[in-house]
């Protein structure tokens, strides 16, 4: 096993320690052992990062679109070449199995390529004029330096969506990545630096989240904010950004409904949804959570789904036979225990799982609950863990009512063999993303974002660039 590296700040093209020498310990969630440290930025470091981002923006925004594209494509090439090394680091700090870590990194490289290509096509347009001798042009310009805040569940993929969109549009960016998982996003940033991104264009800091967010969002040089994380924190940051008239992209929490109709391929639906549910130990914002199953097939679906859950080998992500790693930190274990305890105390039944595994590491058994009611916390609060909630329904109206009951609207899932049912789901499920009869979310070329309390803006598809561009109109009359 490779050693785990300590992580420094990346400011103005240099990897540096914090000026006051502070560090934060990094813990391996599979062992609960400290494996390294990450530099803790203070106010002088943040001031230096913003000043560097201003200088970097002046350089990068004036660079030709094709040159920016070329550098980004080289960063993707370097990331692919370093996948095995970085995947091991990612697994050590986050816990997910190596196969999932590799998939995340390869997906990140694809995202860079996609956004680099889209940056070459971020066109303005000419508008035909009513008057002779008058030209009318719509110009799309980079908004300016960006402050980005990303979580620990996908420490590379959540960063790459923000960095890729910023760089593709000519913006500079300061990333505040998660202190729990610092080394893998640092490896991503290193790939960009090694590819030739000029000093100051990309910065990376760690420290006290509230201090960093309050400092960066309020700074007049920062012109855009992008955040992925909980709805509670997202609302606070969105309010702060709004008070300074900063545009914001918010990718927040969800409580994904999955509607399984009796005419669906039940075995396929159970296997597909179980794979989605227990990926990354359920620590996925788009994870299916509330399973709404038509009553005639309810027992069969729960049986098939639970059988898959029982077969999942939980263990250290570095071991070759591990299919699900630990939760990322002890807070997630405590949250699972509290939510499940509340549910069972109110009558929920545990079909499988329901408890922590072992005495070392943050391992939790894949869990299936039935006999749930809407007064249970777990039916209203995003569990963000390996817990599937199963309830039957009798009519599609009933399923749609439950699917749309919560203020969240991120991802939703459905399985049906009837085209009219699929069409109704398309029209009536209130979610930013709906996938029917397969898993088709989070690809670089498709939109990624929610509605309602799940946020606003997109971090995928051509829409990902919109929030990083100002739209300006210029009309000129020929001088005569």
Q: What share of the chain is helix, strand, coil (3-state, %, to 5)?
A: 40, 20, 35
pLDDT of residue 224: 98
DSSP state of 323: S
Average pLDDT over residues 175-191: 98
Average pLDDT over residues 158-186: 98
Domain 256-443 listed as CATH 3.40.309.10: yes
Domain coordinates of the chain in residue numbers?
Answer: 9-252+455-473, 256-443
Q: What are phi and psi of 282, to 5 degrees?
A: 75, 5
Query: Quick one: pLDDT band at residue 479, thresholds 50, 70, 90?
Result: confident
Residues 93, 100, 180, 251: which is the catalytic one? 251
Average pLDDT over residues 443-472: 97
Residue 285 falls in the annotated catalytic set: yes
Average pLDDT over residues 436-445: 97
CA atoms of 419 and 434, how far apart (whole Å): 15
Rg for the chain (alpha carbons), in Å? 23
pLDDT tens track for 54-100: 999 999 999 999 999 999 999 999 999 999 999 999 999 999 999 99
pLDDT tens track for 370-409: 999 999 999 999 999 999 999 999 999 999 999 999 999 9
On whether the CB atoms of residues 413 and 438 are closer than 8 A, the answer is no
Query: Quick one: pLDDT band at residue 1, thresholds 50, 70, 90?
Result: very low
Instruction: Indicate the pTM of the whole model.
Output: 0.96
CA atoms of 436 and 122, how far apart (whole Å): 31
Residue 251 falls in the annotated catalytic set: yes
CA distances from 104 to 293, 396, 462 (A): 31, 35, 21
Residues 179, 285, 294, 459: which is the catalytic one? 285
On whether the CB atoms of residues 441 and 286 are closer than 8 A, the answer is yes
CATH number for 9-252+455-473 (one of 3.40.50.150, 3.40.605.10, 3.40.50.300, 1.20.58.220): it is 3.40.605.10
pLDDT tens track for 375-386: 999 999 999 999
CA distances from 15 to 8, 11, 53 (A): 6, 7, 15
Average pLDDT over residues 339-348: 98
DSSP state of 399: H
Average pLDDT over residues 246-253: 97
On whether the CB atoms of residues 373 and 402 are closer than 8 A, the answer is no
Residue count of the chain, please give it. Answer: 480
Query: Quick one: pLDDT band at residue 2, thresholds 50, 70, 90?
Result: low
Residues 6+ apart with CB under 8 A from 258: 273, 288, 289, 290, 291, 292, 412, 413, 414, 415
DSSP H or E run through 413: strand 411-415
pLDDT of residue 158: 98
Report residue 472 as tokens: 């300006």
Listed residue (153, 135, 139) closest to 287, CA to CA: 153
């Amino acid at each position: 096993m490779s050693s785990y590296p300590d992580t420094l700040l990346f400011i103005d093209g240099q990897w540096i320690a914090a000026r006051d020498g502070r560090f934060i310990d990094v813990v391996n969630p599979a062992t609960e052992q400290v494996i390294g440290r990450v530099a803790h930025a203070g106010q002088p470091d943040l001031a230096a990062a913003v000043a560097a981002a201003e200088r970097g923006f002046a350089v990068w925004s004036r660079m030709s679109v094709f040159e920016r594209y070329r550098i980004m494509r080289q960063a993707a090439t370097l990331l692919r070449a370093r996948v095995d090394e970085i995947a091991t680091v990612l697994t050590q700090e986050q816990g997910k199995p190596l196969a999932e870590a590799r998939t995340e990194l390869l997906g990140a490289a694809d995202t860079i390529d996609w956004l680099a290509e889209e940056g070459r096509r971020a066109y303005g347009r000419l508008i035909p004029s009513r008057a002779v001798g008058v030209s009318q042009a719509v110009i799309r310009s980079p908004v300016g330096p960006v402050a980005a805040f990303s979580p620990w569940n996908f420490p590379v993929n959540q960063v790459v969506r923000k960095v890729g969109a910023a760089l593709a549009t000519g913006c500079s960016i300061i990333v505040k990545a998660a202190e729990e998982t610092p080394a893998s996003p640092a490896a991503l940033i290193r790939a960009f630096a090694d590819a030739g991104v000029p000093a100051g264009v990309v910065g990376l800091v760690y420290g006290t989240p509230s201090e960093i967010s309050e400092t960066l969002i309020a700074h007049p040089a920062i012109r855009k904010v992008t955040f992925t994380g909980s709805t509670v924190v997202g609302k606070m940051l969105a309010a702060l950004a709004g008070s300074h008239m900063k545009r914001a992209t918010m990718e927040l929490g969800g409580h994904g409904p999955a509607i399984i109709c009796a005419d669906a391929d039940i075995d396929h639906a159970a296997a597909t949804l179980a794979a989605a549910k227990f990926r990354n130990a359920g620590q996925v914002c788009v994870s299916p959570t509330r399973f709404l199953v038509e009553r005639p097939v309810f027992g069969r679906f729960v049986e098939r789904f639970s059988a898959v859950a029982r077969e999942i080998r939980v263990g250290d992500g570095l071991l070759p036979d591990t299919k699900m790693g630990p939760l990322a930190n002890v807070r997630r274990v405590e949250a699972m225990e509290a939510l499940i305890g509340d549910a069972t105390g109110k009558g929920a039944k545990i079909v499988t799982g329901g408890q922590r595994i072992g005495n070392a590491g943050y391992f939790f058994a894949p869990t299936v609950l039935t006999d749930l009611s809407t007064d249970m916390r777990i039916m209203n609060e995003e569990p963000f863990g390996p817990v599937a909630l199963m309830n039957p329904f009798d009519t599609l109206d009933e399923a749609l009512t439950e699917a749309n009951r919560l203020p969240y609207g991120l991802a939703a899932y459905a399985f049906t063999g009837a085209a009219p049912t699929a069409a109704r789901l398309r029209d009536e499920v209130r979610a930013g993303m709906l996938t029917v009869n397969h898993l088709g979310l989070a690809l670089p070329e498709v939109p990624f974002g929610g509605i309602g309390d799940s946020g606003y803006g997109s971090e995928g598809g051509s829409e990902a660039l919109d929030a990083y561009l100002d739209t300006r109109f210029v009309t000129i009359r020929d001088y005569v």
